[in-house]
Amino acid sequence: MKSVKFFYAILLFLSVSLSAQAVKRFTLWQLPSQINTIGNSYVFRTDKGRIVVMDGGVREEASYLRGFLAALGNEVEAWIVTHPHFDHVGALTEILNNPAGINIKRIYHSPFSHEFCNTETEYAAEALAYYEAIEKSGVETVDLFKSGLIVSVDCLKFKILSVTDEKLTHNPYNNSSMVVRVWDKYKSFLFLGDLGAEGGDKLLANVSRKDLDCDYLQVAHHGQRGVRESFYKTIKFSACLWPTPSWVYNNDIGGGFNTHTLETVYTRKWMDEIGIKTHYKSFDGLTKIE
């Protein structure tokens, strides 16, 4: 009798083990800021261990990102860039100029024309430096001028929902943020980059709700002056990712809570009204979602 029980126990153990091995999930890390500044930096690891990066943060955080990627094998299957602002491409530009062992196989982005960059002089230098670094690096680059591309990396899939639009009139760099849906069988994310009101309106008008509804939503533009209240209250999601330092989250640069000119507290209020209880804030430290 004991041998029969032992036999069934072994069968149960093997069944559970095989079931666990059959689960194919990717892991997401939201990287914390190292210098208490704004910045977007996300790293994904597929079920087979391949790495995908989104943005990467500011130049000063390149060392931290290098260490993180080194611990994961120093090989990046795909690097997704939402738009060429310093807090999104600064670290990547540094790495492209000096890889120091990091092998990037492919970059996906939606570039602005050089002519357009030169008309938007406030941000031209950082954008052009990033484009120059790509060109010199020799890394294969996928330039996206049309939405809809779906890329699979093992169990992880990502879909490009919006691309650069040089006809946008207000804050065109942010409003042209490449919006990306990322998912597997078990969870879904929507990354809005620094999308503003104009870009959010365009997204709602042109993209299916099934692509916008998600489990985890990255709040637009670090949670302040991003998409409209109506955008957040139109789509469905269960948790928020905040690539946001504490002073932006609290609208406080030294005078106390909500005493500066940022509008983050409005976004927080909207999330309370929607009923979102789960918030992953980059200033709280490294976030890991499996």
Q: 95-135, pLDDT tens digit by residue? A: 999 999 999 999 999 999 988 887 777 778 899 999 999 99
Among 131, 66, 137, 59, residue whose Cα is nearest residue 91: 59
Q: Domain total for the chain?
A: 1
pLDDT of 217 strictly over 50? yes
- Provide the CA 73 distance to its chain's centre, in angstroms: 20
Task: Let me know if residue 144 belongs to a domain.
Answer: yes
Task: Let me know if residue 141 belongs to a domain.
Answer: yes
pLDDT at 123: 78
Task: Let me know if residue 169 belongs to a domain.
Answer: yes
pLDDT at 36: 83
54: its two tokens: 């989104």
Task: Let me know if residue 13 belongs to a domain.
Answer: no
Task: Let me know if residue 18 belongs to a domain.
Answer: no
Three-state secondary structure readout of the chain: CHHHHHHHHHHHHHHHHHHHHHCCCCEEEECCCCCCCCCCEEEEECCCCCEEEEECCCHHHHHHHHHHHHHCCCEECEEECCCCCHHHHHHHHHHHHCCCCCEECEEEECCCCHHHHHHCHHHHHHHHHHHHHHHHHCCEEEECCCCCCEEEECCEEEEECCCCCCCCCCCHHHHCCCCEEEECCCCEEEECCCCCHHHHHHHHHHCCHHHHCCCEEECHHHHCCCCCHHHHCCCCCCEEEECCCHHHHCCCCCCCCCCCCCCHHHHHHHHHHHCCCEEEEHHHCCEEEC
pLDDT at 23: 80
As a whole number of angstroms, the distance between CA 66 and CA 265 comes to 33
Task: Let me know if residue 3 belongs to a domain.
Answer: no
Pairing of strands 41-45, 27-30: antiparallel
pLDDT at 102: 98
160: its two tokens: 């490009």
pTM summary value: 0.91
| CATH number of the structural domain spanning residue 262 | 3.60.15.10
Task: Let me know if residue 19 belongs to a domain.
Answer: no
The residues, ordered by sequence, that sit 6+ positions from 58 with a Cβ below 8 Å of its Cβ are 35, 37, 38, 39, 86, 87, 90, 91
Query: Which band of pLDDT confidence, cut at 50, 70 and 90, is reported for residue 18?
Result: very low
pLDDT of 138 strictly over 90? yes
Task: Let me know if residue 277 belongs to a domain.
Answer: yes
- The residue-averaged pLDDT of 253-269 equals 97
What does the pLDDT look like over 140-187, one tens digit per residue? Answer: 999 999 999 999 999 999 999 999 999 887 888 899 999 999 999 999
Mean residue pLDDT of the chain comes to: 91
Higher-pLDDT residue of 75, 22: 75
Query: Which band of pLDDT confidence, cut at 50, 70 and 90, is reported for residue 34?
Result: confident
Provide the residue range defining the domain that includes 265.
24-284
As a whole number of angstroms, the distance between CA 236 and CA 269 comes to 16
Question: Percent of the chain scored above 90 by pLDDT?
Answer: 82
134: its two tokens: 């790509």
